[in-house]
Amino acid sequence: MIIDNIIVIGAVIVISLVMDGAILILTKILPKYNITEIKESRFEAGNLPIRNPKHRIPMQYFGYMYMFMAIEPVLVLLLLFAAYPSLDFYMLLGISAILFIPAVFFGYKLTLSMAYGREAYE
């Protein structure tokens, strides 16, 4: 049983490394287009940019995505464990709620910083 799990995990790791290598090789082989200033600039709601963006991240709501990516996997596990609640489930729920606070705080502050500038982050 344990050997089967090790084989599956090893296969997933090998497939991931092969895919990463293939993507890296393809980026070196495929032709690059002429990168102009208009292609590099950020578009908000389909409009032409008026001034330089505040950050190089092309997504204004990166902080919200960070919060979703940090919290969603744990919430799925908590929902699975909630089918048969026990004392261990309630302890896990409390610990995860405490651990979510820094992720939510950081994501919210990052979003404010990107939306309103540096002063909102401090």
In tens, the pLDDT along 5-44 reads 889 888 999 999 999 899 888 888 887 777 776 666 655 5
Residues 92, 80: Cα–Cα separation, whole Å? 12
In tens, the pLDDT along 73-115 reads 888 888 888 888 888 888 888 888 888 888 788 777 777 776 6
Is position 45 within any domain? no
3-state secondary structure 51-113: CCCCCCCCCCCHHHHHHHHHHHHHHHHHHHHCCCCCHHHHHHHHHHHHHHHHHHHHHHHHHHH
Q: Are 62 and 111 in contact (CB under 8 A)?
A: yes
Is position 12 within any domain? no
Q: 45's torsion region: left (phi>0), alpha (psi -120 to 50) or beta?
A: left
Domain that holds residue 74: 50-120
pLDDT of residue 18: 92
Domain count of the fold of the chain:
1
Is position 29 within any domain? no
- Read off the pTM: 0.39
Q: Where residue 121 falls among pLDDT bands split at 50, 70, 90? A: very low
